Amino acid sequence: MRIVANPGLGARLLDVDLARPLDGPDFDALLAGLGRHGVLHAPGQAMDAAQLAALGARLGTLEVNVANKYHAPGIPEVMILSNKRDAQGRALGLGDAGQGWHTDMSYSADIALANILHAKEVPLRDGVALGSTQFLDMHAAATELPAEIAARIRGRRALHDFEKFWDMVRKRPGSERGPLTAEQRAKKPPVWQPMLRRHPITGREVLYCNPGYATMIEGLEKPESDALLAFLFRHQTQTKYLYAHSWSAGDVLMWDNIGTIHNAVADYSEAEPRYILRVQVMADRYTEALAA
């Protein structure tokens, strides 16, 4: 396996078959590369849902989504992301996943380490791939915070709320999401997260506060909290931190949910089919490092 870095965020995994178990040195290199580069792209892969789940399970416990409506048969850990429908017009997958800047599972006391997606079908228009996934580098965003802002938020926590992102997406035209049920809401109540935290792989500080879920800052009155969050959201979404992945069928894309935030670009229609398998890896193997 070779890892070829992009000029900024992201790298390509070459000479690897991710359907096969990685040996010790390759697995160690993949884990280190995930922390260092934030996003890893392996083109030309052929994996089924069970193989994708097995790859993710090497990294940590696989999450079963709280709104788990679409998943691979018999494998609830593998979510289906798709705009396709069956002969009766029923959706085959979640069609609006990830549309807006966020970090998966920051709304949970138990946070996520990584996502792994495997593209089966990619929407095309005139031969050009649509539905790119964008990423922003939160290592760099933390490093380049103004000193006075870093001092204000170091040691503080922000409240992250699952319902904020859910409601933002369901209000968009065409959304088929209903309001969260009381049971779903009870499973994921709002949680406090440190705004700056040490990354468990790199040991470096990252900005862990995203527009999708962060709602308020601990210890601040609402006007001050809102203003500071607005500054942080502008700072972290600067284009100099951006990497955008243009999908091809067969791609496997793995990203770091602690050191990046991401956004799924919804620039395709139902007539341009998209079908992607997804697993999410929890950070349960890094509890001590995250608490440090």
Number of domains in the chain: 1
Query: What percentage of the chain has pLDDT greater than the value 90?
Result: 80
Expressed as residue numbers, the domain containing 57 is 2-291
Q: What is the mean pLDDT of residues 268-289?
A: 92
The DSSP result for the chain, as a single string, is -EEEE-SSS-EEEES--TTSPP-HHHHHHHHHHHHHHSEEEE-S----HHHHHHHHHHHSPBP--TT---EETTEEEEEEEE--B-TTS-BSSBSSTT-SSB-TTTTSSS-EEEEEEEEEE--EETTEE---EEEEEHHHHHHTS-HHHHHHHTT-EEEE-HHHHHHHHHTSTT----PPPHHHHHHS--EEEESEEE-TTT--EEE---TTTEEEETTS-HHHHHHHHHHHHHHHT-GGGEEEEPP-TT-EEEEETTTEEEEE-----TTS--EEEEEEEE-GGGHHHHH-
Q: What is the CATH number of the domain that holds 142?
A: 3.60.130.10
Quickly state the pLDDT bin for 288 (edges 50, 70, 90): confident
Question: Quick check: 89 pLDDT over 80?
Answer: yes
**Confidence at 284, pLDDT banded by 50, 70, 90:** very high
Whole-number pLDDT of residue 292: 58
pLDDT band at 175 (very low <50, low <70, confident <90, very high): low
The predicted model gives 261-283 an average pLDDT of 95
> What average pLDDT does this structure show over 92-116?
90
Q: Say which residue, 290 or 256, is predicted with more confidence.
A: 256
Segment 41-62 shows an average pLDDT of 97
